[in-house]
Amino acid sequence: MPSASSRIRDTARRTLSLAPGRVDHIPAFRIAVGLAIPMAVLLLTDRAEWAMYVGFGAFTGIYSRYEPTGMRFRRQCLAGGILTACVTLGAVLAQVGESMPPVAESWLALVVGAVVAGAAATVVLVTGLKPGGAIFPLFAVAAVGAAPPAAPIGAAFLVAGSCAALCVLLGLLGHWAGERHPGADVRAAREQFTRGRLGTEFARFAIAALAAGVLGLLSGLPFPYWAQIAAIAPLAAPGRTLQVERGLHRALGTTLGIVTTAFLLSFPAEAWQLVVWVVVLQFVAELYVLRNYAFALLFITPLALLMVQLAHPQPTGPLLAARVLETLIGSAVGIAVVVVGALWGRRGDRRARTS
């Protein structure tokens, strides 16, 4: 059994090293184009406040990398439908929140976000969507719901859905650009999940999101949904050791990514300049996200924050400080859920052996 020191060395090595590349520039370019085209349309129509609708719809392109083209089409259609539904639900929450006291609005958003996290993670598990987990669905519903209404609910649905459809089309075209899977005729294995397994998956994500959101809200920080996102980020990694590492990477990468964000926001910028940075950051993030998660967060963090700034500008200092603190809260909650789940599982195993 490896010693504690060797495990620490292995963790440090994985944190500081890059996994081998897999022609990452091809899907990264496809994903960036799926974001760049609708963002350009927003600039031309003077609708920068719709940036989050576009961004979350365009996240459809992130799903189903390195998979057969037919499988990518089906799975991206599913992912696009989920993300469009989440954007629409977020738009509903934003509209409803206008007529609610701020405290009630915040609690409603936390509960809805937790349910969405659990439900999305369960659907992703059953369907085999990659990337796993529920970061993008939760981010979509929470971020759109937390911002003031930027458009009618129907417009949010159409914008997100159109961007998702564009990304599905680009996913098909990616086949001819060289984004082929080496086993393109292989059928995906269908794993059967018990109700208990699905219930556990729902509970893990929902409890982590709810607990982190409550702590974020009680702390007085302005964006508790960031704590929710950080809490569920580790839970999709395979195995508890990697889940704990993912939580640590989330905290470390986000903290360092704030430095990148602070630099980019230190200069006065027009909307078109922010859009250029968002597209470039999306491309670079996709180059590295499968090779080193912590390193990719140097680009993912400013990408997310610049997108929020486009749609709903905030004072830079409090925005960056809140992002760090809420990420630390969420990462701690996520790691705690992993540890408690491990202890609970061992206890159940001991009971099964003694019964």
Which single residue is written with the structure tokens 């300049």?
A: 273
pLDDT at 138 over 90: yes
195 is written with which tokens? 């109700």
Predicted local distance difference test score (pLDDT) of residue 184: 46
Question: Which amino acid belongs to residue 337?
Answer: V
Q: Where are the alpha helices (DSSP H) in 98-149?
A: 102-127, 135-146
Residues 6 or more apart in contact with residue 68 via CB below 8 angstroms: 181, 183, 184, 185, 186
pLDDT-derived band at 348, boundaries 50, 70, 90: low
The pLDDT of 308-334, averaged and rounded, is 91
Q: What is the pLDDT of residues 142-188, one digit of tens each?
A: 999 999 999 999 999 999 999 999 999 999 988 787 776 655 444 55
Residues 6 or more apart in contact with residue 269 via CB below 8 angstroms: 277
What rounded mean pLDDT belongs to the chain?
88
Is 312 within 8 Å of 143 (Cβ atoms)? no
Helix axes 224-232, 316-354, angle to 10 degrees: 40
307 is written with which tokens? 């997108």
Q: How many CA atoms are closer than 13 Å to the CA of 42, on its beta-carbon side?
A: 31
Q: What is the pLDDT of residues 221-262, one digit of tens each?
A: 889 999 999 999 999 888 888 899 999 999 999 999 999 999
